[in-house]
Amino acid sequence: MATLLTSLHNARIKNILKLNNRRQRDAQQKTVVEGVREAARALQCGIVPEEAYICPELIHTEEAAAVSQQLHSLEMQGKLTLFTVTPELFAKAAYRGESGGILLVVPYLHQTLADLSLRPAPLLLIIDGGEKPGNLGAILRTAEAAGVDAVIVTRQAIGGTDIHNPNVVRASLGALFLLPVVEADPSELLAWLRQRQIRLAVLTPEGERPYTETNLQGPLALVLGSEAFGVDQAWLEEADIRLRIPMAGIVDSLNLSVATAVVVFEAVRQRQGGENGRPLGHPET
């Protein structure tokens, strides 16, 4: 049976709040998933929470009721610890307040480059030093919608966001769980790509070729960096081709998630085959 929590000073609720801090997440190897859709997708992908919190007064939809029932079933099987909480307690624990009455504490994903199983001509997306969790979450949604084979986020000693940030989970609407997402050291990642003969296409304002005039078919890794600093110099030096997004106005940069979507869907368009899949120019490149 689920345990009822009512105290605003409960230690478990305090720990949920601690998991908004990266140091605490890394130390515990846990993160928070809140929201009905996000929780449903985590469960759909076989992720078993360590703890689950349900506020019955906030369960208003059929999807929320189905997720609640699934969590109760897992609790009956002894696979997780389930708690019911009051609306006041849930509002304290959940970043978005109500969040549909569902909140999970789940273990880190722990996927590595060695876990990736790639098609003969994969399309990979590398995010190098993205600073904003909302951007990374939106990028994961784009990647899942476009059919990208994997998203790889470079580990940063300073700055950058991590894939387990609860804001990434929220902004991705659970897409984090639907496709392979890996964190990797840049040097390890570059060696892994070269070993597999995957071409590097780096997006930069100083790129030699517009992305629409470049062949983005075949084994390819699209590399994008932070809005403030761009990609690390090492990626620019190792790039097989440096791409740019032509801009006619005064503004010289796009939001990272927008820039990613623009280039990813051009690569997808080209891969659909036939005459219409060719680049708009320089088809030989």
Digit-coded pLDDT (tens) for 145-192: 999 999 999 986 455 688 999 999 999 999 999 999 999 999 999 999
Domains and CATH numbers, the chain: 3-107 (3.30.1330.30), 113-277 (3.40.1280.10)
Higher pLDDT, 156 or 21: 21
d(CA 149, CA 159): 26
Closest CA to 54 of 92, 115, 102: 102
Of the candidate ranges 75-79, 188-192, 228-232, 262-266, the one whose mean pLDDT is the lowest = 228-232
208: DSSP letter: S
Predicted pLDDT of residue 226: 79
Rg (CA), the chain: 21
Q: In what order do the strands lie in the sheet with 81-85?
A: 3-5, 81-85, 51-54, 102-107, 30-34
Q: What is the mean pLDDT of the chain?
A: 90
Say what the pTM is: 0.90
Q: Is the predicted pLDDT of residue 284 greater than 50, yes or no?
A: no
Residue 74 burial (CB count, 10 A) = 17
Question: Please, where are the H alpha helices in the chain?
Answer: 11-18, 22-28, 36-44, 62-76, 87-93, 133-146, 166-171, 186-195, 233-238, 256-271
